[in-house]
Amino acid sequence: MPTNIDMVRRIYSDGLFDDDVEGLLALVDPGIEFVNPAEAVESGVRRGPAAIRAAVRSARESFAWSRHELGGLFGGGDRVVAVVTFRARGHGSGAELSQEEAHTWTFREGRILRFEWGRDLPSALAAAGLTTADGAPDNRSDAAEGPASER
């Protein structure tokens, strides 16, 4: 049975987060919560698979293309924090965006119960009850401990 870290790694490596919302939704708990921070274009909490499908559709309409690149994983128990670089190009403006994000995934019985993102890795780790000692520098399962910035 894959670990929670393995599941999060797969979400990014298989493009589920960017290209296959139905594949992603196959991994979620029916009570899933998707939390955007206050500074997001569409801030707030979405609940349930249908609301997440709509949020992903809305985000896709805002960008000509977008990609989440996994930089590292921190995990312990039912929570995994992913260090991610979000890259995108706006539809109308053509402006390119690149920003570092911290994605917190919470699991219950092997299903994704909650996803929350923000831009502050130390805060995300603290909220998840994790430290940098709980992480790997990249998305390989055999990676040495420590965040990517310490390699």
* 28-36 and 111-118 strand pairing: parallel
How many domains does the chain contain in total?
1
DSSP character at residue 47: E
127 SS3 class: helix
103 SS3 class: strand
Q: Is residue 34 part of a domain?
A: yes
Q: Is residue 147 part of a domain?
A: no
Domain hosting 77: range is: 4-138
Q: Is residue 118 part of a domain?
A: yes
Write out the chain's pLDDT in tens, 151 residues.
789 999 999 999 999 988 899 999 999 999 999 999 998 888 999 999 999 999 888 888 889 999 999 999 999 889 999 999 999 999 889 999 999 999 999 999 999 999 999 999 999 999 999 998 887 655 444 333 333 333 2
Q: Which residue has the tokens 């801030």?
A: 43
| pTM for this predicted structure | 0.86
58 SS3 class: helix
Q: Is residue 50 part of a domain?
A: yes
